[in-house]
């Protein structure tokens, strides 16, 4: 196949006239170049153009043949040295001259272009030819496949026709073949049955022999194991008996040592307590119970058996009861009633039995008065306690034993405090009715009434412990008994877990908690902290886990938690009192951080300031409360707030908080106040009242309102405190304690004109 070469698009240079071909050609300078052929030879890619290049070089040699001949003829006369010099000069010129013939370059490029064009056309032609051949092969293959399929269909059709026309001979052959096959199968099955039967019999005999052998081995093994187990059991029994005997001996020895140590410790403790005048709760209850039984079996029984003695005693008893009922809470009344009771008992001089039973009547009258009046008005226990303290110093010492015995009788051991045992001091086991009476509880008395009555009696007892007396009181009424009472109840989980324990602890802290803190300081605070852990958590919480105890802690009697919390705050505030480096008064130590939240107030120092009592709240949590209750609405449209796209007016905290507080006050039926205050982090507080108000809220109502604030606005880890008014107690505020502040807090921003206008607008809207 021939391929034509296209002519190059580049212009062709003018060719010189060709001369006869010669073996050599001269260079541009008319000199012979031995490298001309190598320089003009084609590359590997131009192998197909080699012949054309040779012809071109031949033509060039012919063109310059005459010049070369003339040059050679002239060089024949040269000496070898001259000839060598000429050749060297020519070689140097050839090396330095890089002359390229334009025509040769064009011709070389034309050959390359023609070669590449022809190659592309050849590849295209080959591809077309190969595609044609492939198409032809596919056509032939399809024709052959169609022919073969047709032949196959024809053969299959022929076979189907032949198979549908069986002959009689074929049927006979098939029947004979089937019969032969059946006979062979029957013979095979019979032989197989014989073989299986023989094999089954052999297996049965083998298994029977193996079973007999296995049973024999198992019986032998069981007998061996039984023998070994019996030996092991006997050995273990012997070892267990020896170990038990040794353990019992060790236990007996340890018990003897423990009993001996306990006896020594008990004896040592009793000796130490006797030296210090201390007793155990059980001893106190036993002594009080014995004193009461001796009083009933002796003087009371004797006086009631004689008509004249009983008449005199009744007159004294009625007079004493009347005098106690006339008591009021003022010093004159207390002194007068004390003198009248003292005269009624001592004048005229009474026989000892009548004196003792009369003293019993005095104690009973004071306790009954506390049961009735101190429950309704806790302050009523103060004059009763002062009268009791006066009489304890005036009457014989036996009055202290009688009064304490009556307290133990009415409270059932809470005056000690001690758990009432199941048997009396003489060993007689109490019946259920007697045990209930000894515990101080009446029949068909609810827990609420029982707790209230116990609280009244114990308030009288605690008030007697803290009453002022001119002489030392009997040992049952020493002031140290207050510490002992709290320590004993903390040390007795059984008492601490009863529902009434929370109420009595509240009474104890309410009567003498602050005074105990002043006397015992940090030790008292540690005792309260231990009690606080039992209040909030622990395996045995104060009051237990019953429904009555939970009610005492939450709804019915929450005062105990408030009082305990209050005294813990008091201890924290007075912690600086123990610092010896401060030279100013105690007020300086209590009020070092002026205009910071305060736990306690001094009426003389803080009367010129405005302080709010309550919690500081976070504005985002207040907005969550408004979102839950749909409090805030758009001022223009009246629609609910789109919390997904909150409006800009929500940034006005005072206006929004005023609306929230208006709604919250209606919900709780109490006029809460919202004010800017000086605090550590946030300047917004919700307060119950200020220090210039006297609402007279009870502890229960106050705790309910504080808990409502905490629950509604998510207040956590805060104590209710006194917060300074931001406007009236700002930077320029000077109070009676401002001079004690060495480092006043940084300046707080005053209310801007815009904020003041917004506040007034909100107040006007609330007023409408």
The confidence score (pLDDT) of residue 122 equals 92
Domain ranges for the chain, please list them.
Answer: 1-133, 177-278, 285-474, 479-573, 581-767
Question: 723 has which bridge partners?
Answer: 612
Contact (CB, 8 A) for 357 and 299: yes
Instruction: Give the pLDDT confidence of 563-588 residue by residue, as tens digits.
Output: 455 444 444 444 433 333 333 333 33
What are the backbone dihedrals phi and psi of residue 609, each rounded to the nearest 5 degrees, phi first?
A: -100, 165
Contact (CB, 8 A) for 97 and 35: no
166: left (phi > 0), else alpha (psi -120 to 50), else beta? beta
Cβ contacts of 252 within 8 Å, gap of 6 or more: none
508: tokens are 């104890």
Question: 685 has which bridge partners?
Answer: 616, 675
Q: Is the pLDDT of residue 104 over 70?
A: yes
Q: Is the pLDDT of residue 474 over 60?
A: yes
pLDDT higher at 739 or 532: 532
- Three-state DSSP at 636 gives coil
> What are the strands, taking DSSP E only, across 563-636?
611-616
Task: Give kind and range of the element (H or E) at residue 498.
Answer: none
Cis peptide before 486 (omega within 30 of 0): no
The Cα 723–Cα 729 span in angstroms is 10
The Cα 655–Cα 619 span in angstroms is 12
The confidence score (pLDDT) of residue 99 equals 64
Within 10 angstroms of residue 674's Cβ, the number of other Cβ atoms is 22
| Distances from the Cα of 272 to the Cα of 254, 265, 268, 686, angstroms | 26, 10, 6, 55
Instruction: Give the pLDDT confidence of 75-93 residue by residue, as tens digits.
Output: 567 888 888 888 888 888 8
The Cα 690–Cα 699 span in angstroms is 16
The Cα 456–Cα 503 span in angstroms is 10
Q: Is the pLDDT of residue 329 over 90?
A: no
The confidence score (pLDDT) of residue 576 equals 36
The residue among 655, 634, 635, 652 whose CA lies nearest residue 643 is 634
Instruction: Give the pLDDT confidence of 212-270 residue by residue, as tens digits.
Output: 999 999 999 989 998 898 999 898 898 888 888 888 888 888 888 888 887 777 777 66
Placement of tokens 């008395």 in the chain:
445
Q: Is the pLDDT of residue 596 over 60?
A: yes
The Cα 360–Cα 402 span in angstroms is 6
Enumerate the H helices of 669-714 as residue ranges: 699-713
| Distances from the Cα of 669 to the Cα of 662, 664, 674, angstroms | 10, 8, 15
Q: Categorize the per-residue pLDDT at 496 as very low, low, confident or very high, splitting at 50, 70 and 90.
A: confident
Q: Categorize the per-residue pLDDT at 34 as very low, low, confident or very high, splitting at 50, 70 and 90.
A: very low
Question: Superfamily for 285-474?
Answer: GLE1-like (1.25.40.510)
Contact (CB, 8 A) for 586 and 576: no
Question: 677 has which bridge partners?
Answer: 725
- Name, of 15-19, 31-35, 406-410, the range with top average pLDDT: 406-410
The confidence score (pLDDT) of residue 584 equals 32
What are the backbone dihedrals phi and psi of residue 514, each rounded to the nearest 5 degrees, phi first?
A: -65, -40
Task: Give kind and range of the element (H or E) at residue 549.
Answer: helix 547-553
The residue among 271, 293, 373 whose CA lies nearest residue 328 is 373
Contact (CB, 8 A) for 463 and 511: yes
The residue among 533, 525, 530, 489 whose CA lies nearest residue 507 is 489
Exposed, middle or buried: residue 488 (CB in 10 Å: 0-12, 13-18, 19+)? Answer: middle
Apex 113 CA angle, 109 and 118, nearest 5: 150
The three-state DSSP-derived secondary structure of 20-38 is CCCCCCECCCCCECCCHHH
What are the backbone dihedrals phi and psi of residue 598, each rounded to the nearest 5 degrees, phi first?
A: -120, 145
Strands 673-678 and 684-690: antiparallel
Instruction: Give the pLDDT confidence of 381-439 residue by residue, as tens digits.
Output: 899 999 999 999 988 888 989 999 999 999 988 998 888 888 888 888 888 888 888 88
Strands 721-725 and 611-616: antiparallel
The confidence score (pLDDT) of residue 403 equals 92
- Three-state DSSP at 431 gives coil
The confidence score (pLDDT) of residue 691 equals 72
Task: Give kind and range of the element (H or E) at residue 329.
Answer: none
Exposed, middle or buried: residue 227 (CB in 10 Å: 0-12, 13-18, 19+)? Answer: exposed
Mean pLDDT for 32-41 is 41
Contact (CB, 8 A) for 67 and 30: yes
Sign, Cα dihedral of 282, 284, 289, 294: positive
Q: Is the pLDDT of residue 334 over 50?
A: yes
- Three-state DSSP at 424 gives coil
The confidence score (pLDDT) of residue 503 equals 82
pLDDT higher at 115 or 557: 115
The Cα 622–Cα 424 span in angstroms is 61
Mean pLDDT across the chain: 76
The residue among 310, 343, 338, 345 whose CA lies nearest residue 324 is 338
Enumerate the H helices of 414-544 as residue ranges: 432-438, 447-465, 480-490, 493-496, 500-520, 522-536
Determine the number of helices (DSSP H) and then strands (DSSP E) in the chain. 28, 4
Mean pLDDT for 613-620 is 84
Q: Categorize the per-residue pLDDT at 15 as very low, low, confident or very high, splitting at 50, 70 and 90.
A: very low
pLDDT higher at 29 or 680: 680
The Cα 660–Cα 629 span in angstroms is 10
Q: Is the pLDDT of residue 132 over 50?
A: yes
- Three-state DSSP at 425 gives coil
- Give the CA-trace dihedral at 255, 260, 265, 271, to 10 degrees: 150
Apex 392 CA angle, 386 and 395, nearest 5: 130
The Cα 650–Cα 389 span in angstroms is 63
């Amino acid at each position: 196949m021939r391929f034509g070469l296209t002519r190059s698009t580049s212009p062709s240079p003018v060719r010189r006239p060709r001369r006869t071909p010669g073996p050599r050609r001269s260079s541009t300078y008319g000199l012979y170049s031995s490298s001309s052929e190598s320089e003009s030879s084609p590359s590997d890619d131009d192998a197909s153009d080699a012949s054309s290049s040779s012809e071109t070089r031949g033509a060039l040699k012919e063109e310059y043949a005459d010049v070369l001949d003339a040059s050679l003829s002239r060089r024949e006369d040269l000496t070898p040295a001259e000839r060598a010099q000429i050749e060297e000069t020519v070689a140097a010129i050839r090396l330095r001259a890089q002359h390229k013939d334009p025509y040769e370059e064009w011709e070389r490029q034309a050959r390359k272009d023609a070669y590449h064009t022809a190659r592309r056309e050849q590849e295209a032609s080959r591809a077309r030819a190969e595609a044609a051949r492939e198409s032809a092969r596919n056509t032939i293959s399809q024709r052959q496949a169609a022919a073969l399929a047709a032949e196959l269909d024809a053969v299959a059709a022929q076979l189907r026709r032949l198979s549908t026309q069986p002959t009689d001979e074929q049927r006979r052959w098939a029947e004979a073949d089937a019969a032969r096959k059946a006979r062979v199968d029957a013979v095979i099955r019979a032989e197989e049955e014989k073989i299986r039967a023989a094999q089954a019999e052999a297996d049965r005999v083998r298994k029977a022999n193996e079973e007999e052998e296995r049973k024999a081995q198992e019986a032998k093994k069981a007998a061996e194991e039984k023998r070994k187990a019996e030996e092991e059991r006997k050995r273990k029994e012997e070892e267990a008996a020896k170990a038990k005997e040794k353990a019992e001996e060790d236990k007996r020895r340890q018990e003897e040592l423990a009993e001996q140590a306990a006896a020594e410790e008990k004896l040592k403790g009793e000796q130490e307590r006797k030296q210090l005048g201390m007793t155990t709760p059980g001893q106190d209850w036993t002594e009080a119970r014995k004193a009461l039984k001796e009083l009933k079996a002796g003087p009371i029984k004797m006086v009631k058996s004689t008509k004249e003695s009983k008449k005199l005693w009744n007159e004294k008893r009625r007079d004493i009861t009347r005098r106690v009922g006339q008591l009021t809470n003022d010093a004159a009344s207390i002194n007068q009633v004390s003198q009248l009771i003292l005269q009624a008992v001592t004048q005229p001089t009474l026989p000892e039995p009548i004196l003792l039973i009369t003293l019993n009547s005095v104690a009973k009258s004071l306790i009954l008065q506390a049961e009735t009046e101190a429950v309704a008005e806790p302050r009523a226990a103060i004059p009763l306690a002062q009268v009791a303290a006066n009489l304890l110093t005036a009457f014989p010492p036996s009055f202290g034993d009688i009064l304490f015995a009556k307290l133990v009788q009415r409270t059932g051991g809470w005056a000690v405090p001690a758990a009432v045992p199941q048997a009396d001091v003489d060993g007689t086991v109490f019946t259920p009715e007697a045990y209930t009476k000894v515990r101080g509880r009446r029949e068909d008395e609810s827990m609420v009434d029982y707790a209230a009555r116990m609280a009244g009696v114990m308030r009288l007892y605690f008030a007697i412990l803290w009453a002022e007396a001119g002489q030392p009181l009997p040992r049952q009424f020493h002031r140290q008994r207050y510490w002992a009472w709290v320590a004993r109840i903390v040390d007795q989980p059984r008492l601490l877990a009863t529902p009434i324990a929370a109420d009595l602890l509240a009474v104890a802290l309410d009567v003498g908690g602050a005074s105990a803190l002043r006397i015992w300081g940090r030790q008292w605070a540690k005792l309260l902290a231990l009690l606080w852990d039992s209040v909030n958590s622990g395996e045995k919480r104060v009051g237990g886990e019953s429904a009555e105890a939970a009610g005492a802690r939450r709804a019915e009697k929450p005062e105990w938690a408030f009082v305990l919390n209050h005294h813990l705050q008091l201890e924290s505030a007075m912690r600086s009192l123990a610092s010896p480096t401060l030279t100013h008064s105690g007020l300086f130590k209590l009020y070092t951080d002026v205009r910071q939240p305060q736990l306690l107030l001094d009426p003389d120092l803080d009367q010129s300031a405005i302080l709010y009592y309550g919690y500081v709240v976070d504005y985002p949590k207040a907005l969550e409360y408004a979102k839950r209750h749909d409090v805030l609405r758009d001022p223009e449209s009246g629609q609910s707030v789109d919390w997904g796209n909150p409006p800009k007016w929500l940034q006005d905290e005072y206006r929004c908080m005023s609306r929230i507080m208006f709604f919250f006050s209606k919900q709780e039926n109490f006029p809460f106040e919202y004010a800017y205050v000086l605090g550590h982090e946030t300047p917004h507080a919700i307060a119950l009242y200020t220090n210039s108000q006297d609402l007279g809220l009870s502890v229960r109502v106050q705790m309910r309102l504080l808990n409502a604030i905490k629950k509604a606005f998510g207040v956590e880890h805060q104590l209710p405190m006194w917060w300074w008014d931001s406007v009236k107690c700002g930077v320029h505020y000077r109070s009676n304690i401002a001079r004690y502040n060495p480092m006043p807090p940084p300046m707080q921003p005053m209310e801007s004109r815009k904020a003041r206008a917004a506040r007034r607008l909100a107040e006007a809207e609330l007023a409408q």
